[in-house]
Structure formats: C-alpha cells, structure tokens
Amino acid sequence: MALLFVAGDQGVSESDLASLIGIDKSALRQNVEQLQIELASNKNSGIKLVKYNSTFKLVTKEEYNELLTKFFKSGLGTKLSQAALEVLSIVAYRQPITRVEIDGIRGVQSSGSVNTLVARKLIKENGKKDVPGHPNLYVVTDYFFDYFGIKSLDELPKIENFETPQNGNIDLFEGVTYGKN
C-alpha cells in the first residue's frame, strides 16, 4: 500500500507493482483483491484501492466527497502563496510580531496572508502588544515546525547569509525540507 500511496494520482501498473514487490501477477491479484476487501470493509478508512485498465491507485471513498469538497473550497488544500510565505518568514524570524509591523516590513497590507496562515495553523495569536490598540502578536506554531521538518527556529538559515537577488526576493525557506505538503 505504501507504493500506491506515494505513487499518488499516477498509480502503479500491475506489472511494475508485481516487479517491485517481487511476486508474480497471479499472487499480486490475490493480494490486491484481499486489500480491496479490507479497505472497503474498514469503516475507519477513507480510501479504497481501484484498478483503472492495468493501473492500481488509492482513491478516496465516495462518501467523503462532500467533506473533501469543503476542504478544498476552504483554501486549506492549496499551496501557500508567495505573499503568505513572505509573511510566514517574517513571523518566523521576528516573532512575536504584529500585523502592522509585518506590513511595515513588506511595504504592503498583509491581513489576508496572516488570516490564511492562522487558518492553516502555521502561525497563531500569542498575546497582545502593550501599545495603544493592543494589537495581536503572532508566533509560529508547533505545526510550523512539523510542516517544515525542523525542531527549533535555530535550524532556519541565518538571515545574514542571504544575498538579495536582482529581483529583490529572498526565499527564507530555501533549502528547508518541507515535512508535509
């Protein structure tokens, strides 16, 4: 099942799967049939194993269509925009920080990106700044560390090591391995 999972939408052909596992096609068909039955009967599993022509794939069960549609419409299933990555970088390097301070660094309004990052649980409110208006302070979350596969902010590249490219954009997460995507 691990091979099918990492293959994603491409799936794995019957012949490739048999070869990778090291069994003949007849034995593979028996194993696949058993796995199909197990997944179909498991009420706690949201996936099933299907065969399209000669390719096997893991797909979600139909009863989860509504939930998955809701997930993707919420924006949680999309990649982070360049603006959101900029804001995330600023929060990671300057936390705790207010949205107005983020706006000042970026030179543009950042509330949409801040809201996206809060919704994705990569940053969170962590108190109020003791200034007029008492704006929220933002910090990265434990999920941030898990997402980027790091244990502490000390593992981020040192900001002094960056040269500003000709386009002026710096990717503060360049070289950081993403844990989940």
Q: Is residue 48 part of a domain?
A: yes
Which CATH number covers residue 147? 1.10.10.10
Q: Is the dihedral of CA 173, 175, 178, 181 positive or negative?
A: positive
Q: Is residue 167 part of a domain?
A: no
Residue 103: strand pairing partners:
none
Residue 62, token pair as written in the block: 């139909």
Write out pLDDT tens, residues 129-156.
Answer: 999 999 999 999 998 988 888 888 988 8
Task: Give the CA angle between residues 82, 86, 87 to the nearest 5°.
Answer: 120
Q: Is residue 131 part of a domain?
A: yes
Q: Is residue 75 part of a domain?
A: no
Does 58 share its domain with 98? no
What is the extent of the structural domain holding 106? 82-161
Does 87 share its domain with 155? yes
Domain count, the chain: 2
Is the model's pTM score more than 0.75? no
Write out pLDDT tens, residues 54-84.
Answer: 899 998 899 988 888 887 777 666 678 899 9
Does 50 share its domain with 104? no
